Chains A and B, each alone.
Chain A
Amino acid sequence: MAKKLVAVKEKCVGCRICELACSLYLEDVFNPRRARIKVESGYNALDLPHICFQCDDAPCASSCPENAIVREDETGIWKVSKEKCIGCGDCLDVCPYDAIFISPSDNIAIKCELCEGLPCKEYCPNEALLLEG
């Protein structure tokens, strides 16, 4: 089974440290819109991290008109090809978990590709992110 990050929404405190750590480690800046994880907050103190679960049957990949989202054989991780992605946003429309985003810096799709070190998980102050598989 492919590894994946999962979020425990009851433990998420809504601080966005995961977003900041992700953008710092992967993009060298602080910018939640360039992070591969996004926390949604709402009424009754809902805090829900959205992150890619590396689905076996991935609608983002099947909807992509450029075949830019491809699964890596050995790890099972879905990766976006920067060269192929045209930033059309079709994948955002079909992802059932709202876990793929368009980066404002270069207008292409970004998603969690399980980077080394997982800074989102490392810096989470309440152990709300778990690595499974």
Chain B
Amino acid sequence: MQGGYTGKYLDIDLQNGTVKVLPLDKEMTVKYVGGGGFNAKILWDQLPAEVDPLAPENILIISTGPMTGTLAPTGNSWYVGFKSPATGIYGEGRGGGYWGPELKFAGYDYLILRGRSPKPVYLYIENDKVELLPADDLWGLDFFKTVDQLEEKHKGARVLGIGPAGENLVRFACIMSDRYRAGGRGGAGAVMGSKQLKAIAVCGTSDVRVADKEGFIEALRDANKTLMAHPATATLLPDFGTASLVNGMSAFGAFPTRNFRSGVFEGAEKISGETMAETILVKTRGCYSCNIKCTRYTMVKEGNYAGVESEGPEYETVNAFGSRCGVDNLEAIAMANMNANRYGLDTISTGTLISFAMELYEEGILSKEECNGLELTFGNHEAMNQLLEDIAMRKGLGDILAEGVKRAAARIGRQADKYAMHVKGLELTATEPRAAQDSGLGHSVASRGGDHLRPWSPAYTLFNFGSEELGLGGTPDPIVPDDKANVVVQMQRVSTFTDMNGTCKFIVLCNTISPSQLARLHTTITGIPFTSEDVMQSAARVWNLQRALNNLKFGVTSSDDTLPQRLLNEPAPEGPAKGKVVELDKMKREYYQLEGWDDNGVPRRERLMELGLDFVAAELGK
């Protein structure tokens, strides 16, 4: 290994407490790069297809990329891979903060966690010392207290772990790190909880090497120059955080409101990043190695929510606990955000579940009694915050909602599924697809279910941030389906690569850093020559491997690549997309063709061979 990678990983069996230190395979780095690439390959090779996601046989991988722990912009990411208890398919989450770099400094590229510990434990890693220690005193504690105790006990350590939601096997519980960072989606926290693993504290003193220092400095200066010249990374994110999107998205009619009844929220201004900066923002911060610094440290100083302090709320969270629940009270949203972080709940899914219940209550499907006695109308932020706690602790209605919106709707019956906003069991995110058709396609085909980040194509279709290298120019029309498949494919590649290389997606989210800039950073750090074509091709390889996992191991077909009926059949009631539904079929056909997938949504043999996935091709038709 020349640079970037540490060259080692840990394979830990929680059942019998054994720890193996193993060498990283060179082929893994060349073909799969890291992060989500490692996760997909390991799950393909080692995960039994039929396994119950919450059974000891599920595998939990926590990986990094070659940029994690380097000076590459936003080189801070850790990635979890698992079979998702929310969806039953490929599960992945990405977190920032400080934990990922520390794992590299301790000398490891990734961890594989197997089995179930007979008693609650936590893992302590300090360079060569790797220990499973009793966690009886930690079990039941919220994540903030867990961090406090472990940081006190292990000076200099960084902490990743779960809150009570993970322990209670809430199917959308996160794995958290560094108090406020989440590997948020798909229920990795429940998998960790099912293994009786509360936390992983890590510290280390070893080097992460760079293959070509002078070349890297040149590539870095060039990348930083681009970041500091682009409005998204130079102004919007540092000044107003991710919530800088709120006003724009609502103006585009793309800001999901009241469980996707609409895409326009009349209270957007009150919960925007601009309002946050004037009210509860205390300080701007940055994750490890981040020069974009979008983190908001916030505190509510007076009123009913006085004392609430956390980082965020982020854009997705503002939408989930704000407009989707009809709430225009930023302090109430900050409270829900803080408690989601403490309990270890995915804010996106939690907000979806609460707004789903609110709509069922307003439609008369759920009675007040069934709603734990709460007056669960849209806009009732006290009820929202109470229900959040009930979900984490699985109380009453909370116990049903803790199963995720797909299962909860089935359990409630009474046509509740009409209001369940998800794809493949993963709750939808803060982009209204009727106002950004590409986003509808992206959500419907993404490898982990209803996913907004692979890619966040509205950066181009709504905000018009194009890319010369990707051939995305001009002024796209977001409310027509034409040419959207290509947009999704192109941006998805770059997005997927940042789920492999160890950086944050925000360096590419608005087509900021180009594929050739990513290639130069990658080549100079690792010493493995990558061109921009290699960036796109390796991302395509990983994307197709994730897809094949879903098709061949978990039974995903074309009929699963769909959207909730509301988005396909109910015209948007207001805003620029008024009267529009998502025209999914046309986009999906074009997308399958561009990806080289057959009518059933399975990658074709030739495509798999071309991507070097011959071992996958060999499984086709079996």
Identify the A interface with B (CB < 8 A): 13-17, 20-21, 24, 27-34, 44-45, 47, 104-105, 123, 125-126
Contacts and interface: CB of A to CB of B under 8 A. Distances in A.
B433 to A, nearest CB: 34
B206 A45 contact: no
Contacts of A125: 286, 290-293
Contacts, number: 75
Contact of A30 (B69, B224, B282, B283): B69
Of A13, A21, A29, A126, most buried by chain B (CB within 10 Å of CB) is A13
5 tightest Cβ-Cβ pairs between the two chains A and B:
A125-B291, A15-B286, A29-B207, A104-B205, A45-B297
Contact of B289 (A17, A29, A34, A126): A17
Interface residues of B, number: 29
Interface stretch (B208-216, B485-493, B556-564): B208-216
Contact of B205 (A15, A33, A44, A123): A33
A15 B98 CA distance: 9
A20 B287 CA distance: 13
B71 A28 contact: no
24 contacts: A13-B284, A13-B286, A14-B285, A15-B285, A16-B98, A16-B288, A16-B289, A20-B71, A24-B71, A28-B213, A29-B207, A29-B210, A30-B69, A30-B207, A30-B208, A33-B205, A44-B282, A45-B283, A105-B207, A123-B291, A125-B286, A125-B290, A125-B292, A125-B293
Interface string B177-220: 00000000000000000000000000001111110010001000
B210 A28 contact: yes
Nearest to B70: A30
A15 B496 CA distance: 24
Contacts of B290: 15, 17, 125
Contacts of A105: 207
A33 B69 CA distance: 12
Given A45-B282, A123-B71, A31 B205 contact: yes
A118 B189 CA distance: 42
Contacts of A29: 207-210
B287 A15 contact: yes
B597 interface: no
Interface string B503-534: 00000000000000000000000000000000
B291 A31 contact: no
A31 B282 CA distance: 30
A47 B285 contact: yes
B105 interface: yes
A17 B289 CA distance: 5
A1 to B, nearest CB: 31
A32 B292 CA distance: 20
Report which residue of A27, A30, A32, A44 has the largest number of chain B beta carbons within 10 angstroms of its beta carbon: A30
B71 A17 contact: yes
Contacts of B292: 125
Question: Interface of chain A, helix or strand or loop or mixed?
Answer: mixed
Contacts of A13: 283-286, 293, 295
Contacts of B287: 15
A88 to B, nearest CB: 18
Contact of B285 (A20, A45, A123): A45
A118 to B, nearest CB: 14
B241 to A, nearest CB: 12
Contacts of A16: 98, 288-289
Contacts of B71: 17, 20-21, 24, 30, 123
Nearest to B69: A30
Nearest to B74: A15
A47 B70 CA distance: 20
Contacts of B293: 13, 15, 125-126
A29 B286 CA distance: 22
B448 to A, nearest CB: 28
A111 to B, nearest CB: 18
A57 to B, nearest CB: 29
Contacts of A32: 105
A24 B215 CA distance: 12
A13 B297 CA distance: 10
Contacts of B206: 31, 104
B325 to A, nearest CB: 27
Contacts of B210: 24, 28-30
Interface string B287-315: 11111110101000000000001000000
B208 A31 contact: yes
Nearest to B68: A30
B26 to A, nearest CB: 21
Given A30-B69, A30-B210, A45-B297, A17 B205 contact: no
A81 B619 CA distance: 63
Given A16-B289, A20-B71, A21-B71, 11 more contacts: A14-B285, A24-B210, A24-B213, A28-B210, A31-B206, A44-B282, A47-B285, A104-B206, A123-B71, A125-B286, A125-B291
Contacts of B224: 123
A13 B282 CA distance: 12
Given A29-B208, A30-B208, A15 B288 contact: yes
B289 A15 contact: yes
Contacts of A104: 205-206
